[in-house]
């Protein structure tokens, strides 16, 4: 799988003249999937900041697909692929949903779906 480390930054805040003042640079880009990945394994304070940045990214750049992996996700992958032993204690709770507005998927023609 091809990947790139922090290949692009996106403006997420602007001054009164419209010039970017703050940027968000996701950790990884998977060109084959056209997907950006942000990994956050730090303190809850930093998780909250990253959630806010991703929410802003989605508001301003809805065409950019960015997934966030939390500490629990990261640790689960390490165990799944044999890179680390299962923890003795329970993993941190995962958020119930990703930050930002829900995404609506077009499921096609309603009549065709109903006819199923």
Instruction: Please say whether the dihedral angle defined by the alpha carbons of residues 111, 63, 17 and 20, taken in this order, is positive or negative.
Output: positive
Both structure tokens of 114 = 């109903």
pLDDT beneath 70, residues of the chain:
42, 44, 87-116
Q: Name the nearest CA neighbour of 56 among 68, 44, 45.
A: 68
Q: Looking at residue 61, what is its pLDDT? A: 94
Q: Looking at residue 63, what is its pLDDT? A: 95
Q: Looking at residue 116, what is its pLDDT? A: 47
- Find how far residue 59's CA is from the centre of its chain: 13
Residues 35 and 29: beta-carbon distance below 8 Å: yes
The pTM (predicted TM-score) of the whole model is: 0.67
The β-bridge partners of 72 are none
């Amino acid at each position: 799988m091809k990947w790139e480390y922090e290949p692009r930054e996106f403006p997420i805040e602007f001054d009164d003249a419209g010039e970017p003042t703050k940027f968000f640079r996701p950790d990884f880009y998977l060109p084959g999937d056209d997907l950006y990945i942000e990994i956050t394994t730090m303190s809850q304070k930093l998780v909250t900041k990253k959630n806010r940045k991703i929410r802003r990214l989605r508001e301003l750049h809805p065409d950019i697909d960015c997934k966030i992996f939390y500490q629990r996700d990261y640790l689960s992958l390490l165990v799944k692929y044999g890179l680390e032993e299962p923890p003795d204690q329970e993993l941190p709770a995962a958020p119930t949903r990703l930050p930002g507005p829900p995404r609506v998927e077009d499921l096609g023609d309603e009549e065709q779906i109903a006819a199923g």
